[in-house]
Amino acid sequence: MKNWQKKIFLFACLGLVNVSSLFSTPLDDYVKQFDPYYHWEISSVEENPEAKIFVVSLTSQKWRSSEEVDKPIWKHQLTIVVPTTIKSQTAILSVGSGLQEGNETIYSSDKIPLQELALRTNRVVCEVSLVPNQYLKFSDEWDNRYAEKGRKEDALVAYTWDKYLKTEDPTWPLRMPMTKAVVRAMDACEELLKQKLSLDVDGFILIGASKRGWTAWTSAAVDSRVKGIIPIVIDLLNLKTSFTRHFMAYGNWSFAVRDYADIHIPERWHGDAFARLMKIIEPFEYRERLIMPKYIINATGDEFFLPDSSSLYFHDLPKNKHLVYLPNTGHRVLVNRYLETVIAYVNLLASHVALPTTDWQLTQDNQLKVKPSTSPLRATLWQAHNPNGRDFRVVTIGSTWTDSTLTLEKDGTYSADLVSPKMGWSAYFIELEFSSPNGEVFKTSTDVFIFPDTFPFADKSSSSGVSSVQTLAE
């Protein structure tokens, strides 16, 4: 290592230099670029005995031109809940979705209860909606399904990947404006709280589900104000390897990823352009930056991702990390399945007490052993079986995960024997529950382990075309 490299490494370790400023990526450049369209104004203010609530109209940026897309100016509703009692200066920012249909904006009916979260964690809680802005109609749209309304969610993401793979214009991937929207939301929160309440914020904990969870990862990679992240149902880090295994398990593409297969993304993912795309938008590529606390919440029955996907990335992430799998739920996980453990996690972070850690290993005789750093309230083995395939999606096997309580061994571990079934495949993981300062239950788990450790379609190419997509009924 040359002397200048040694100095940079030393300064980075000491926190004297922001590594992202030294090794800038197109994502860094896009987020940092000045945008004259950035603007916010207060739409309404509500006060009650427990909190003050600001509803803000936020314009985060201009993405693309009006010749390319019908709504290039990205607008969001930003809600800021300021509780009467504040004990932590680190705010929470929830990254929300939504749809624009004509003049109407439609939000999910299953949203994080912002005031409850603010009151139970004693901190400011914010939410930015419409990440991404959608529906979006493109002038060169080729698919009649999107001619009238435009694209949303995965169809929108896939379209922008296709544009990047054809042009290698780094501003095309939708992750760019989604990430910038979150960064601008942090800017607006800081500015409003300072101007209106003389309140300083010491960073943000980001929460997001699905594509919003992915955006929490990328926002954390480019902005040092992110003090923690809670990505939910986005079990895809180390993406290319993850989806290679996805195809080896199913022999085709799950219906959930149809939008990517329809636009021929898998057929191009062995090319150099796809590798460069991943360098820009794949959180795993930024893992050395992701030193903040991380609480990864996944679903065992997710239609997008195999339940053992965390084995491809979790152990390679920097420390300050926790993982939990939610049994018997798919990608559309309800807020009430994770709200309590999220509150527990946030309060544990604020307590300045070391969070409980769990070390696990699978022995040569397939015994899963877990050693917690502190005594849990409960240890549970979860398991499920599919006699017909290596498929644990909730739409395939239903809510068939069962639980059994584990007892503490003499060596201070909890253990379970993982057995290969005579037919099909079985999946297992161990969950531990811990108490938090305010009495909430904090849950962590091991990776999910599947036996036998084989894939029924290991010899089938994952570069197959659009014909290899399941329907929901399959």
In the 3-class helix/strand/coil scheme, how is the chain assigned residue by residue? Answer: CCHHHHHHHHHHHCCCCCHHHHCCCHHHHHHHCCCCCCEEEEEEEEEECCEEEEEEEEEEEECCCCCCECCCEEEEEEEEEEECCCCCCCEEEEECCCEEECCEEECCCCCCCHHHHHHHHCCCEEEECCCCCCCECECCCCCHHHCCCCECHHHHHHHHHHHHHHHCCCCCCCHHHHHHHHHHHHHHHHHHHHHHHCCCCCCEEEEEECHHHHHHHHHHHHCCCEEEEEEECCCCCCHHHHHHHHHHHHCCECHHHHHHHHCCCHHHCCCHHHHHHHHHHCHHHHHHHCCCCEEEEEECCCCCCCCCHHHHCHHHCCCCEEEEEECCCCCCCCHHHCHHHHHHHHHHHHCCCCCCCEEEEECCCCEEEEEECCCCCEEEEEEEEECCCCCCCHHHHCCCCEEEECCCCCCCCEEEECCCCCCCEEEEEEEEEEECCCCCEEEEECCCEEECCCCCCCCCCCCCCCCCECCCCC
Based on the fold, state whether residues 289 and 434 are members of the same structural domain.
Answer: no
Based on the fold, state whether residues 240 and 102 are members of the same structural domain.
Answer: yes
Based on the fold, state whether residues 279 and 407 are members of the same structural domain.
Answer: no
Instruction: Specify if 212 maps to a domain.
Output: yes
CATH number at residue 410: 2.60.40
Instruction: Specify if 310 maps to a domain.
Output: yes
Based on the fold, state whether residues 160 and 75 are members of the same structural domain.
Answer: yes
Q: Tell me, what's the pLDDT at 110? A: 86
- Nearest-angstrom CA–CA distance, 265 and 259: 9
Omega prior to 452 cis, within 30 of 0: yes
For the chain, what is the domain count?
2
Q: Give the chain's end-to-end CA distance (angstroms, integer).
A: 54
Based on the fold, state whether residues 230 and 368 are members of the same structural domain.
Answer: no
- Nearest-angstrom CA–CA distance, 358 and 369: 10
Based on the fold, state whether residues 201 and 225 are members of the same structural domain.
Answer: yes
Q: Which two tokens stand for residue 354?
A: 């070391």
Based on the fold, state whether residues 342 and 370 are members of the same structural domain.
Answer: no
Based on the fold, state whether residues 275 and 423 are members of the same structural domain.
Answer: no
Instruction: Specify if 468 maps to a domain.
Output: no
CA proximity to 30, closest of 223, 159, 210:
223
From residue 449, how far is each of 384, 405, 416, 452, 454 by CA, in Å? 11, 18, 12, 9, 11
- Nearest-angstrom CA–CA distance, 59 and 137: 19
Domain finish residue from 328, 351, 374: 351
Q: Tell me, what's the pLDDT at 67? A: 98
Q: Tell me, what's the pLDDT at 460? A: 80
Based on the fold, state whether residues 164 and 256 are members of the same structural domain.
Answer: yes
Instruction: Specify if 458 maps to a domain.
Output: no
Digitized pLDDT (tens) for each residue of the chain, 474 residues in all: 444 344 444 444 444 444 444 589 999 999 999 999 999 999 999 999 999 999 999 999 999 999 999 999 999 999 999 999 999 999 999 999 999 988 889 998 889 999 999 999 999 999 999 999 999 999 999 999 999 999 999 999 999 999 999 999 999 999 999 999 999 999 999 999 999 999 999 999 999 999 999 999 999 999 999 999 999 999 999 999 999 999 999 999 999 999 999 999 999 999 999 999 999 999 999 999 999 999 999 999 999 999 999 999 999 999 999 999 999 999 999 999 999 999 999 999 999 888 999 999 999 999 999 999 999 999 999 999 999 999 999 999 999 999 999 999 999 999 999 999 999 999 999 999 999 988 999 999 999 999 999 999 999 866 544 446 654 433
Domain span at residue 250? 21-351
CATH number at residue 141: 3.40.50.1820
Domain finish residue from 316, 351, 386: 351
Contact 351, 437 (CB under 8 A): yes
Based on the fold, state whether residues 406 and 266 are members of the same structural domain.
Answer: no
β-strand partners of 81: 53, 125
Instruction: Specify if 222 maps to a domain.
Output: yes
Based on the fold, state whether residues 261 and 337 are members of the same structural domain.
Answer: yes
Domain finish residue from 298, 333, 351: 351
Based on the fold, state whether residues 446 and 391 are members of the same structural domain.
Answer: yes
Q: Tell me, what's the pLDDT at 70? A: 97
Instruction: Specify if 306 maps to a domain.
Output: yes
From residue 242, how far is each of 140, 297, 306, 397, 463 by CA, in Å? 31, 17, 8, 21, 14
Instruction: Specify if 10 maps to a domain.
Output: no
Instruction: Specify if 7 maps to a domain.
Output: no
- Nearest-angstrom CA–CA distance, 433 and 372: 10
| Amino acid at residue number 102 | G
